[in-house]
Structure 1
């Protein structure tokens, strides 16, 4: 018989992955709520409202569109050039209610998983989840390329993370390379369970490996743990 404290790793992985792509993402939810009240808003409008780069907004809009939450119409302009896309929600009453209920269920499931595992086991599993996912992302980009330096790899990682909703940037200080994330995809769940931040550390480690960059030590700071920034350094 299995112990009460044992948890299927695949269940934890599925939960973390679902949260990453859900409305629990602060920027994505902000975009959706703004479009409910302001149908026809453009990516530029949303960029100003959410205080993030327009490319980050477009990524979230693509994910929302693919999931069927948001659609767009071409908006005519008086100036020369392509028409801008004006975005609107598909069904505000149905979609928001359903997504909120789903998020609540996923958060409850995740919190129970973390409580049953205990802090050490939960952090180890969160790190392993990040490594697996990061390695897959890194290999998808670096399959045809030679091994990269840590500096080059970290710049690539920042771009990949931004494309996945992290709003990340690369920084260099005293020969150390860091990726700083301004947007946590786990939202308030990370504040309640800072062990989730280990996903970030694992993600960077896995991506470095997938990109062919050799690095022996990866460290983490996070706002959920009381630090000034969410930063992974290699």
Structure 2
């Protein structure tokens, strides 16, 4: 099924540049929806940190995230629910990058305000994909402390 969705996106956006923009945009919309749902679910509890929101959402989606180091927001995604399709449709990773950015940005009230920048290095480690999250006001320091 995911292959069919990827083929539809690839057909609708035949050039790589527009395809990547569309995939990132779609992923960001998905991530903002997940962030909104997370806020609604934790409204009565203590507010969740960006890292905890990511850990909860990515666990629920089947990515089995683990922190790369204690007290950082950077994670290894040790599983991928779409691993069988990634080699023939790498656009999946771009959608996931957008989804993660949408999750991170989803808590912001102002559109365009970014809490952090994210980068995703698919299958870059024996542990899985590496997700680096850098808080907007700590980019010069190189890590998020949460």
Supply the RMSD in Å over aligned alpha carbons: 2.8
Kept in 1: contact 2:105–2:116 (CA 8 A): no
Residue 161 of structure 1 is aligned with which of 54, 58, 78? Answer: 58
Kept in 1: contact 2:63–2:79 (CA 8 A): yes
Kept in 2: contact 1:177–1:233 (CA 8 A): yes
Residue 192 of structure 1 is aligned with which of 72, 83, 88? Answer: 88
Kept in 1: contact 2:32–2:103 (CA 8 A): yes
Shift of 1:117: 2.3
Number of residues of Structure 1 aligned to a counterpart in Structure 2? 123
Kept in 2: contact 1:159–1:169 (CA 8 A): no
Q: Does 1:126 align with 2:43?
A: no
TM-score by length of 1: 0.45
Unpaired segments ≥5 residues, structure 2: 134-146
Give the distance between the partners of 1:214 and 1:112, measured in 2 at CA. Answer: 30
Structure with greater helix share of residues: 1
Kept in 2: contact 1:141–1:211 (CA 8 A): no
Q: After the TM superposition, which parts of structure 1 deviate over 4 Å for at least 4 consecutive aligned residues? A: 145-148
Secondary structure of the residue that 1:192 maps to in structure 2?
coil
Shift of 1:109: 5.5
Highest Rg: 1 or 2? 1
Residue 208 of structure 1 is aligned with which of 104, 129, 132? Answer: 104
Give the distance between the partners of 2:59 and 2:35, measured in 1 at CA. Answer: 14
**Greater length-normalized contact order (CA 8 Å, ≥ 6 residues apart):** 2
Unpaired segments ≥5 residues, structure 1: 1-17, 20-106
